[in-house]
Amino acid sequence: MIIDKGLDLQVRLALGMNQRQTGEFLGLSTRTIQRWDAGACAAASFHWEKLAKAIFPKDRELALRCAKMAGKTLDELGLVTVAAEPLVGPVAPELVIDALVCVAADAVGMLPGAIRPALVAAFTRARQLGITVEMAEKSLVGKPARAKR
């Protein structure tokens, strides 16, 4: 394993922790952290994993370096997900849209032909307002349906 000298100190500073706080966080003594800083001993892989998880929200690059010290990837630590390769080749866009229409129709108990005009209107307005699919999904999730009048 390649030693990344001073990484523990960089992570500790980025997390705003002193030696005592780092020891408490990792379940170690302050003296052990002092030994790390002096180069007298090194962190175990499970310590690096815990540090990677703690620093990930603040500094992805430091988290990646910690994960490497643990012999893991960010994906193996559950911090990122590597996109899987598609199981089939490229799918024609019209087939993808038909699948979306069918899912929407099924969700509200309608036939696809009946829901398509509503989806066209919704996506047209979203495009006009500069709203992405991700923005629309985030806004819609968890919101109760409005009562019919």
Which pLDDT value is given to residue 144?
58
Specify whether 15 is located in the same domain as 60: yes
Specify whether 43 is located in the same domain as 97: no
Domain ends where: 37, 54, 69? 69
Q: Is residue 79 a part of any domain in this protein? A: no
For residues 53 and 60, give the distance between their C-alpha atoms in angstroms, rounded to a whole number: 10
Q: Helix, strand or coil for residue 2? A: coil
Quick one: tokens of 7?
A: 């990484």
Specify whether 61 is located in the same domain as 13: yes
Number of helical H runs and strand E runs in the chain: 8, 0
- Look at the chain and report how many structural domains it folds into: 2
Number of other residues whose CB lies within 10 A of the CB of residue 64: 18
Which pLDDT value is given to residue 115?
92
Q: Is residue 102 a part of any domain in this protein? A: yes
Among the listed residues 40, 25, 33, 41, the one whose alpha carbon sits nearest the alpha carbon of residue 9: 33
Q: Is residue 147 a part of any domain in this protein? A: no
Q: Is residue 39 a part of any domain in this protein? A: yes
Which pLDDT value is given to residue 36?
87
Q: Is residue 134 a part of any domain in this protein? A: yes
Specify whether 55 is located in the same domain as 101: no
Which pLDDT value is given to residue 134?
85
Q: Is residue 1 a part of any domain in this protein? A: no
Among the listed residues 57, 51, 59, 42, the one whose alpha carbon sits nearest the alpha carbon of residue 2: 42
For residues 123 and 115, give the distance between their C-alpha atoms in angstroms, rounded to a whole number: 12
Quick one: tokens of 86?
A: 């598609």
Specify whether 100 is located in the same domain as 136: yes
Domain ends where: 53, 69, 85? 69
Quick one: tokens of 23?
A: 């020891």
Which structural domain, as residue segments, surrounds residue 11? 7-69
Q: Is residue 64 a part of any domain in this protein? A: yes
Give the CATH number of the domain where residue 22 resides.
1.10.260
Specify whether 60 is located in the same domain as 103: no
Among the listed residues 46, 100, 121, the one whose alpha carbon sits nearest the alpha carbon of residue 77: 46
pLDDT values of the chain reduced to their tens digit, one per residue, 149 residues: 556 778 888 999 999 999 999 999 999 999 999 998 888 888 899 999 999 999 999 999 999 999 999 999 999 999 987 666 666 667 788 888 888 888 888 888 999 899 999 999 998 998 999 988 888 888 888 665 565 65
Q: Is residue 75 a part of any domain in this protein? A: no
Quick one: tokens of 67?
A: 């994960």
Q: Tell me which amino acid residue 106 is.
A: D
